[in-house]
Amino acid sequence: MSSLQTRLTEFLNIEHPIISAPMAFAATGQLAAAVSAAGGLGLIGGGYGDADWLTAAFDESGNQPVGCGFITWSLAENPSLLDLALERSPQAMMFSFGDASTFVEKTKAQGIKSICQVQSVAQAIEAAKWGADIIIAQGSEAGGHGAIRATLPLVPAIVDAVGDRSIVVAAGGIADGRGLAAALTLGAEGVLMGTRFYCASEAAVDEEAHDLAIDATGDNTVKSSVIDHVRGKNWPSPYKLHTLPNVYLDKWHGNEEALIARADEEMATYDQAGVVRDYNTRAVIVGEGVGLVASTEPAAAIIENCVAEAVGSLRGSFALVR
């Protein structure tokens, strides 16, 4: 199999320039370990932070060299979770959504590599000042939380702004080898994929949610605060959650004031929908790239197919040059 060597593969000492996103709840130790075993870097989804869950996830990853990611504003409410993760000697720590300056400093002081996910050029410049080794340029196509700028113009702008200080990795709407090839052409040194690995067989995702993701075209995803209100997650502006549409979102999106007025009842409804796997209410958290995912596969197959397809795309593009 051909390979793609970049500053990212060299820096992380991995075979393929692919990182799996630290998806809250979905990115368990099993998924992260499978990605790392297949030559990428797997990140455990530390998410909003739960010490027991995190410990179990690291245990589950066994001896594989995995990393871990946190939602920065949430970590700031319980910063001792970073110590818990650092004690497990992760390959890298990733921070997204908020001021991670002190977390980056602490991580680097322990000799651990740091990754910051950003949504704008200004945030990328800040993250480079904090000393982030790797900056993930996340476009609004991304599944999960994100902001406004689109991947295609954001990635090269961030490469121009910080490219010699931090290693830039693209995220958002990249779900196959064509996206990987495009990201490298834009000047990124690799990709971070969430939606594609949400559909990995190792992800902690119900079969019902996987089926809905596989059937989706990517044409009608929704960005909303509805699900954050009913999960009691106090997300700062401008972040919205990118999901598939469903009956519940149709009812409440654009009607948030009424939803907040009956938050207690709706939180109970949303919780119960999780228990009974009712995806008319519960959201399937994926981005636009979901339309490129045709089946659930093991993480190793995802990585192998993406790399092979990217190599083919890059060779094909080269053939156009006269």
Ligand X SMILES: Cc1cc2nc3c(=O)[nH]c(=O)nc-3n(C[C@H](O)[C@H](O)[C@H](O)COP(=O)(O)O)c2cc1C
Q: Using CB under 6 A as the criterion, which residues of the chain lie in contact with ligand X when the complex forms?
A: 21-24, 26, 45, 47, 69, 71, 96, 117, 138, 141-144, 171-174, 192-196, 198, 285-287, 289
The minimum distance between CB 321 and ligand X, in angstroms, equals 29
- For residue 319, the minimal CB distance to ligand X (Å) is 28
Q: Collect contacts of 317-321 with beta carbons under 8 A, ≥24 apart.
A: 317/181, 317/185
- Least gap, CB of 290 to ligand X (angstroms): 8
Helices marked H in 193-298: 195-198, 207-215, 226-231, 247-252, 256-261, 263-275
| Nearest residue (CB) to ligand X, 86 versus 170 | 170
Residue closest to 181 by CA, chosen among 294, 308, 9:
308
What is the Cα 272 distance to its own chain's centre?
26
Residue 251 C-beta: closest distance to ligand X, Å = 22
Nearer to ligand X, 163 or 172 (CB): 172
Q: Give the number of other Cβ atoms within 10 Å of residue 55's Cβ.
A: 15
d(CA 240, CA 224): 5
63/295 with CB nearer ligand X: 295
Written as six digits, the tokens of 160 are 């121009």
Sheet order of strands, 222-224 included: 144-146, 240-243, 222-224
Q: Give 48 or 252: the residue with its C-beta nearer to ligand X.
A: 48
Among all residues, whose Cβ is closest to ligand X?
194
Shortest Cβ distance from residue 48 to ligand X (Å)? 7
Q: Smallest gap, in angstroms, from Cβ of residue 122 to ligand X?
A: 18
Nearer Cβ to ligand X (144/177): 144
Smaller CB distance to ligand X: residue 4 or 180? Answer: 180
Q: Which of 194, 197, 177 is nearest to 31 (CA)?
A: 197
Is the Cβ–Cβ distance between 148 and 123 less than 8 Å?
no
Q: Among 196, 125, 204, which residue's Cα sits nearest to residue 166?
A: 125
Question: What's the closest the beta carbon of residue 22 comes to ligand X, in angstroms?
Answer: 5
Comparison of 128 and 209: residue with beta carbon closer to ligand X = 209
* Dist CA 135 CA 148 (whole Å): 17
